[in-house]
Chain A
Amino acid sequence: MTFLYLLIMAALLFAAHKATRIKGLLKAALWLSGTSALTSTLIYLMGSPGIAVIELSVGAGLVTVLFVFSISIIGDEKITGEIFIPKWLAISITVVAFGILGIMTAIDSIPQLKAVQAELIADTIWVDRKLDIDIQAGLIISGVLGILMIVAPTTARWMKEKRND
């Protein structure tokens, strides 16, 4: 089981690294989709199959489709990385983050994962966390308006061509 976690985590970090460092936008979107799929596998192993399914369908499915659609409008431009923070700052942040992690590992203060299967979360979501549902409804309405903004240029162009014909 440890080997499986190790394998998934290594693949996840590799996919995330490729998604952020690769030059083309379309390739970055595809690597991001792989990152989402591997994240959902990890979440499934950690005992949350419901969230894993939602992450897989939304993160690896819907977001990738939106990315590809948007890139087809924007154009797949090559991206040049330009570092605009001092190199010493980047190095010190990395050293501090991994230093804290190293200390936690050395003194063995990382709590053990139990990977218990969650019970039905319906009661938690619909009764105890009603405010979350209201916020999610608001967010989804914003998302619909966002999608309208995405398709607006294409629709406007299509209508213009139609009018000219």
Chain B
Amino acid sequence: MISKIIIFGIVGLMGIGIYCLMITRNLPKVIVALQVLIKGAMIAIIYAGDISGNMDLAQSMALTIIVADTIVAVIGLALAIQAREKTGSSKIQSISNLKK
């Protein structure tokens, strides 16, 4: 039963993340969606490590995911701030106007 709950949770988190990625064009909100999506993926990797008996490898990969996830958030927020400063908007389209 616990496995089913976890699998439902993973699918739910990834579904929420993908849905939000599809409907939003605001850069900070896209980062929130990515964070939710990555949390689902991280739980999936730890679950996979647990059922395959390779927990050390799964934990090592989860650590890399946490670092990469944080850096994605930092760089995305930095881009949003720069876009806001230069174009007055933090929408995704404004990034393409940064070079002008």
Contact = CB atoms under 8 A, between A and B. Distances in A.
Interface of A: 1-2, 5-6, 9, 12-13, 16-17, 19-21, 25, 28-29, 32, 35-36, 39, 42-43, 46-48, 50-51, 54-55, 58-59, 62-63, 66-67, 70-71, 73-75, 77, 79, 81-85, 90, 93-94, 97-98, 101, 104-105, 110-116, 118-119, 121, 123-125, 128-129, 132, 135-136, 139-140, 142-143, 146-147, 149-150, 153
Interface residues of B: mostly helix, strand, loop or mixed?
Answer: helix
Closest 10 CB pairs of A and B: A149-B78, A20-B20, A146-B74, A124-B56, A118-B55, A111-B51, A70-B77, A9-B9, A146-B75, A143-B71
Contacts of B18: 93
Interface string B1-21: 111111111011101111110
Interface of B: 1-9, 11-13, 15-20, 22-26, 28-29, 32-33, 35-36, 39, 42-43, 46-47, 50-51, 53, 55-64, 66-71, 73-75, 77-82, 84-85, 90
Chain A CB within 10 Å — which of B33, B35, B53 has the most?
B35
A74 B84 contact: yes
